[in-house]
Amino acid sequence: MAILDIEGRTLAAELVQLFGLGVEHVLDDAAFNDLALRVFAYQFQHNQPYAAYARLRGRTPGEIAHWSQIPVVPTAAFKEVALVSGDAAAAEAVFRTSGTTRGTERRGEHYLPDLALYHASLLPNFAAHLLPDGAELPILSLLPPASEMPDSSLAHMIEVVIDRLGAPGSGSYATVERGIDEAALGAALRGYEEAGTPVCLLGTSFAFVHWTDALRERGERFQLAPGSRLMDTGGFKGRSREVDADELRATYGELLGIPENFLVNEYGMAEMCSQFYDNVLRDNVLRDQVALHGKIEEPDREVAQRDQVNEFDQEVALRDLPQGEPASSRPRPRQKVAPPWVRTVVVDPETLEAMPPGELGILRHYDLANLGSVIGVQTEDLGRAVEGGFLLLGRAAGAPPRGCSIATDLLLEAVAGHPQ
Amino acid sequence: MNPTGHPIDAYHIPGLDDADVLHWDIREYDDGAVRLRIPVLAPATLERLLQRLREARRHYLATTPVLELTRAIDQAAALFMEPDHPVRALAEAALPAVTGYSPAMIRLVLDRMAADWREPALHALLEAELGDPRVLDSFQEWPAGRSVGSAAGGSTGSSTGGDTVPHDERGRGAAAPVRVRAFGPELAFHIFAGNVPGVAVTSLIRSLLVKAATLGKTASGEPLLPALFAQILAQISPALGECLAVTYWPGGDQPLEEVALRAADAVIVYGGGEAVAAIRSRLPVGTRLIEHGPRLSLAVVAREELTTLAARRVAAEVARAAAVFDQQGCVSPHVVYLERGGEVAPEHFAELVAEEMRRVEAELPRGRLTTAEAATIQQVRGAAEFRAIAGREVRVLASAGTEYTVIYDAEPGFTASCLNRVLRITPLDDLSDLVRHLEPYGAFLQTVGLAAPAARRALLADALGRVGVSRITTLSAMPWPPPAWHHDGQEPLRELLRWVDLEG
């Protein structure tokens, strides 16, 4: 807890304990509100740029009563100023936005005073959505290890997941220098396939596109053991051909033998400590358990806070499933779900007011795990609110401008190539 | 527009039979308020129709005097300027939904663009580039009839040694008279981009003037106006209409594009760097390629123009230049550079521009934005606010919604705008510093709207030209280049031509 003061450390400890209760522990609006206002008040005291922004907006802690009034910081602001509650130089980690392939754009910087909070949010949420059956699997990553990508929140995330949740044999199958080690990955998967051992594959969507394109070219395919699963994440940003999510999932089914319900898309960003996942695998496992046992068995897993994992509570775990019908009969559609310590609001990009459910808008997140930076983040990502979650409908950054003008990144590329 | 009615035909394809249409691509805009219909063709069908286009050219275009062509084009253009004509009404009703521009903007753009398609403008273009337009019809004396002032100074000059050589010059051993004739490509293929209405029509007209059978592939952002123009032109002159085809297919449709790229003698491509590069890489050897890649523009105001008296007018001109085409034109300014030391401080001038932006919004409302575009504007504003919080001299002067955004940033630097009326205003100690800021972007620069006293204007124009700027004009003329302009530093007619010299 490098740079948080005593008040911050107390609040962080409280949050770590709360996250340890897992995603099935409901945080009602009052409880979330209480914590959110305390987190904001702390940030207002310790994060000078954020405090200045709040004053500019007339949204200081004394002036607001509900978390939805907390000022949100546009993700672009992370490129302009260090948004950290405390001394940036003393931060335990800095995650940077990836920018575009062209590489000259200024990158956003997210300072994390304290990685414990990040890990406390990451692990139960990941486990709930990728390993809801309590499986202990070899976790194979298509991303280079974090040591090679110190700026990448995703690389860090995967490393922690492998370290804490992976079975022996887990590891990274890529390097920055040479990309995916297809031979080693193929050999490892072939071994697991023959042994009938299910695996968990993790990587960016564009890495999967590169790899599956190569598999297809070689006429190679796998029939991974039942229970195998895959998490992909992120847009393409010109790093591979653009592939529609449905098409990509069909490819995973065809070339890897992983069924639809075991394909989980993750949505995260450098500016946030918590992540979002597709509901499908978790819903599927819960549904099967209800069908099989008439109740849900939460895995007794050792995650961030082993002793804090709360008692299984069927009422609570069912809260997100459609009401009034047996849970097994009507699966809810694929959507992104947040852990209880995150709230997402879809806002109108013109007015920045909340949109009615179902309408297209831009996503705004309030993340308690962001104690060390800013709780409220305004993204450029497009989505629609649905019952229990939201649909992610594209990430705005990188949309080409209309008209006959020129995209900023092309311009930056030109400058990068200019001898000066 | 009646949503249940027949969709508008957004194509003109001479010789198209019902049997040729694999199926109809129906494109809906504004929740179906406007529907366009475009035929989906097999590559073999396109090949046959292009052959037909070529033959129609041989029969008609190749043998018809250019001034007869300008007359037909003029008549079509006139109808687009007639407020009550059905085609004008249709364009006015449908284009806002199709392009996203406001109805007021569409009316303005139609008026201004169509004026460039009238006979006087066409003659001015022909004369500026060719001297004597009849070189397109038959051999003409060269360079007789070309006044030095109108010489375009191209690289395709005659064998007598260039445009500036007087006709009666002696002593070069070339006493024999030379006559020349210019031939356009037999088939020109235009690939359009963007959503600014009229740009595509202008390009098609240039191609017809040099007597090329012409195929226009419209952009998804504006597939309608070029098709309407072609339909009207075909009504006025059926023979000319036989030589022109306009349709849409999704960009990158390889089989169709291969057919068109193979068939064409010249390809004129508009659009982003990658799209242009992709076409270039697929072009058969020997096919002429004319590129209109992405370009951007800026405005510059000298301290002498920043007087208490003039500042308001200058601010209004800046605001209007940024507002026309919702800043999406290549002629639209992204950044305004202000020279320090005038009566009105740069920061105050930024406030005036913001006020004028609000005024323009009332008269010429900005169009609809996509969710992503509006989101980007919010990000740009937020980032600027945080630059100010971080202690930089930055101010955000903006509407409550996303209608307009003026960002005053004391740190002079060039940044491309996210468009849709997001204008950056930045001071310079002296205009001579400008070139240094622009140099890295030279390949992408097009228009500079310059407000400065004549002497400084000439000096700066020279420097700007060296950097890569291809047009220097007044602030108020920025959006409306004259018909005979050197579009992106090129000569739109001459670059399509092949010259034949007849000596002795």
How many helices (H) and strands (E) in chain A?
11, 16
pLDDT digits (tens, 9 = 90+) for B11-70: 999 999 999 999 999 999 999 999 999 999 999 999 999 999 999 999 999 999 999 999
pLDDT in tens, chain A (420 residues): 456 788 999 999 999 999 999 999 999 999 999 999 999 999 999 999 999 999 999 999 999 999 999 999 999 999 999 999 988 888 999 999 875 444 456 788 999 988 999 999 999 999 999 999 999 999 999 999 999 999 999 999 999 999 999 999 999 999 999 999 999 999 999 999 999 999 999 999 999 999 999 999 999 999 999 999 999 998 666 566 778 899 999 999 999 999 999 999 999 999 999 999 999 999 999 988 888 887 777 776 655 443 333 333 333 333 343 333 344 456 789 999 999 999 999 999 999 999 999 999 999 999 999 999 999 999 999 999 998 899 999 875 544 444 444 455 555 555 554 433
* The two structure tokens encoding residue B2: 């009646």
Name, in order, each residue with C-beta under 8 angstroms of B165's C-beta and a sequence gap of 6 or more. B143, B172
CA B147-B148-B151 angle, 5° bins: 90
Chain centroid to CA B71: 22
Chain B positions touching A400 (Cβ under 8 A) are 272
Sign of CA dihedral B335, B341, B344, B348: positive
Distance CA A296, CA A290 (A): 6
Tally of CB atoms within 10 A around B436: 12
State the number of CA atoms in the 13 A half-sphere of B120 facing the CB: 4
CA distance B377 to chain A (A): 9
Residues counted in chain A: 420
Distance CA A106, CA A236 (A): 19
State the number of CA atoms in the 13 A half-sphere of B443 facing the CB: 13
* The two structure tokens encoding residue B198: 């009229």
Phi, psi (degrees; rounded to nearest 5) at A377: -125, 125
Chain B positions touching A358 (Cβ under 8 A) are none
Predicted confidence (pLDDT) at residue B161 exceeds the cutoff of 90: no
CA distance A82 to chain B (A): 9
Tally of CB atoms within 10 A around B187: 22
Interface touch B330/A405, C-beta < 8 Å: yes
CA-nearest of B206, B201, B239, B233 to B122 is B206
> Looking at the partner chain, which of B401, B402, B418 has a beta carbon nearest the beta carbon of A401?
B418
Mean pLDDT of B73-82: 97
Chain A positions touching B419 (Cβ under 8 A) are 401-403, 405
Q: Which amino acid is at A118?
A: Y
Comparing B276 with A162, the larger pLDDT belongs to: A162
Find tokens 């001015």 and name the residue. Answer: B124
Helix residue ranges per DSSP H, B60-118? 66-81, 86-99, 103-115
Distance CA B464, CA B450 (A): 11
pLDDT digits (tens, 9 = 90+) for B341-355: 999 999 999 999 999
Per-residue model confidence (pLDDT) at position B288: 95
Chain A positions touching B401 (Cβ under 8 A) are 350-351
pLDDT digits (tens, 9 = 90+) for B105-151: 999 999 999 999 999 999 999 999 999 999 999 999 987 554 434 44
Distance CA A194, CA A209 (A): 24
CA distance B453 to chain A (A): 29
Sign of CA dihedral B149, B153, B156, B162: positive
* The two structure tokens encoding residue A283: 């819903």
Contact between A184 and A173 under an 8 Å Cβ cutoff? The reply is: yes
Interface touch B380/A407, C-beta < 8 Å: no
CA trace torsion B254, B260, B264, B267 (10° rounding): -60
Interface touch A415/B440, C-beta < 8 Å: yes
* The two structure tokens encoding residue B373: 């575009």
Closest-CA residue of chain B to A238:
B274
Among A405, A413, A415, which would you mutate to test the B interface (most chain B Cβ atoms within 10 Å of its Cβ)?
A: A405
Among A48, A404, A409, which would you mutate to test the B interface (most chain B Cβ atoms within 10 Å of its Cβ)?
A: A404
* The two structure tokens encoding residue B317: 């001109």
Contact between A73 and A376 under an 8 Å Cβ cutoff? The reply is: yes
Tally of CB atoms within 10 A around B411: 10
Q: B273-297: b or e for each residue (b if 16 or more CB lie within 10 Å)?
A: bebbeebeeeeeeeebebbbbbbbb
Contact between A7 and A366 under an 8 Å Cβ cutoff? The reply is: no
| Chain A with chain B: Cβ pairs closer than 8 A | 155
Chain A positions touching B417 (Cβ under 8 A) are 405
Chain A positions touching B445 (Cβ under 8 A) are none
Distance CA B118, CA B110 (A): 12
Interface touch B329/A403, C-beta < 8 Å: yes
